[in-house]
């Protein structure tokens, strides 16, 4: 999972809403489009960005394409990802501790 792609994907309100819908059930592009006031090309672009970030997968079933959350454990993955880069209440990484010492010495 590429952190930049994930944050780019999550930076958009419509994409977060799409993820919320898909967290309930897999849906076709048409079913997703029914919930938004946007063009099909715009929706397609949002879905492509979510897929490229590894957050959404699709499966062709007959003439329909069904979209779903890429991993049932997505919340845990995102939590671990954030905990790695934003260790609130946790120990600092060695690089961060070294940088803190360097800054402290400069003062």
Please determine, looking at this structure, whether the domain spanning 3-106 carries the CATH number 2.140.10.10: no
Q: Where are the domains of the chain?
A: 3-106
Instruction: Please give the average pLDDT of every successive group of 10 residues along the chain, which has 107 residues.
Output: 82 95 93 91 95 92 93 70 70 61 69
Distances in Å between the alpha carbon of 100 and those of 31, 86, 88, 90, 94?
Answer: 50, 15, 16, 15, 10
> What pTM value is reported for the model?
0.70
């Amino acid at each position: 999972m590429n952190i930049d792609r994930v944050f780019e994907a999550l930076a958009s309100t419509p994409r977060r809403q799409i993820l919320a819908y898909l967290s309930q059930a897999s849906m076709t592009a048409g079913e997703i489009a029914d919930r938004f006031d946007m063009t099909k090309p715009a929706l397609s672009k949002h879905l492509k960005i979510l897929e490229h970030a590894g957050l959404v997968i699709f499966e062709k079933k007959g003439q329909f394409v069904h979209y779903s959350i890429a991993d049932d454990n997505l919340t845990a993955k995102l939590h671990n990802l954030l905990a790695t880069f934003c260790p609130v209440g946790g120990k600092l990484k060695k690089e961060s501790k070294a940088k803190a010492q360097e800054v402290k010495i400069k003062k």
